[in-house]
Amino acid sequence: KNVYTFLDNGAPYTIVIGAHYDHLGKGNHGNSLDPNPVGKIHNGADDNASGTAGVMELARYYATNGIKENCNFLFIHFSAEESGLIGSKYFSNHPSIDLNTVQCMINMDMIGRLNDSTHSLMVHGVGTSPAFVNLVQAVPHNGMKLTLDSSGIGPSDFTSFYLKNVPVLAVFTGSHNDYHKPSDDADKINYPGEVTVLQYVTKLVGTLCL
C-alpha cells in the first residue's frame, strides 16, 4: 500500500517527492545478500529508511516553513519497490493527480551513507529534462562532489515516472557492504550527511519552483 499526502499551494504544477518504505523483512524475500538470511531482521536503515525519513522531513519542512511555494507537493512512500517497483508502477498507472501537471519527480533511495572522505552524491535522471544538467550543477551543493547520470531508468521508483514521460531526479549516496544485509542498521547512518543531502534537495526544489 502506498502512503501519500498532497500539499496544495494552488499552483498549476506539482513536484513529487518519493521514497520506498519496504525492505526485506526477515530474510524470506529472496533478495538478501546474507549467506543465511532467513529469520534475520533486515531493518534497511539506509535502504530505505533513510529515504522515507527524508520524505517525512521535507513534508514537515514545506508544510511549516511559512512560505507558499510556486508549486504543489505530492509526498509519497511507495510499497513493494524491492519486489519490482510494484507500488510506484501502480501509482503511475492510477495517479491521484494529472501526471501532465508534474514538473518533476524527485526520488530518494539510500541517502544515509554520505561518505565523509569522498563526500560524493550521485544524481540520476539529469538527461530527462534539457534544463537539469545545468540546474543540478548550479545549485550550491554544500561541498558534495556530484556524479551525474543521465538515464531516467534505474532500479528504483523514479523509473515508473520516467516511463510516463515525467522528468525525474534521483539522489543516492552510494552502495556499501551492508546493502541487502541485516547489518544495514541505524548505527551505520551518517545523520549529518543526510541533512546535507536534504539541504541540497531543498535548493533544487527552490530552483524548480521559481
pLDDT in tens, 36-79: 999 999 999 999 999 999 999 999 999 999 999 999 999 999 99
The proportion of the chain whose per-residue pLDDT surpasses 70, expressed as a percent, equals 100
Burial pattern 57-73, b for ≥16 Cβ within 10 A else e, equals ebbeebeeeeeebebbb
Amino acid symbol at 58 = L
Q: Could you tell me if residue 10 is left (phi over 0), alpha (psi between -120 and 50 degrees) or otherwise beta?
A: left
Q: What pLDDT score does 149 carry?
A: 98
Q: What pLDDT score does 29 carry?
A: 87
Q: Report the predicted TM-score, pTM, of the whole model to 2 decimal places.
A: 0.97
pLDDT(210) > 90: no
Q: What pLDDT score does 12 carry?
A: 97
Determine contact, residues 73/202, Cβ cutoff 8 Å.
no
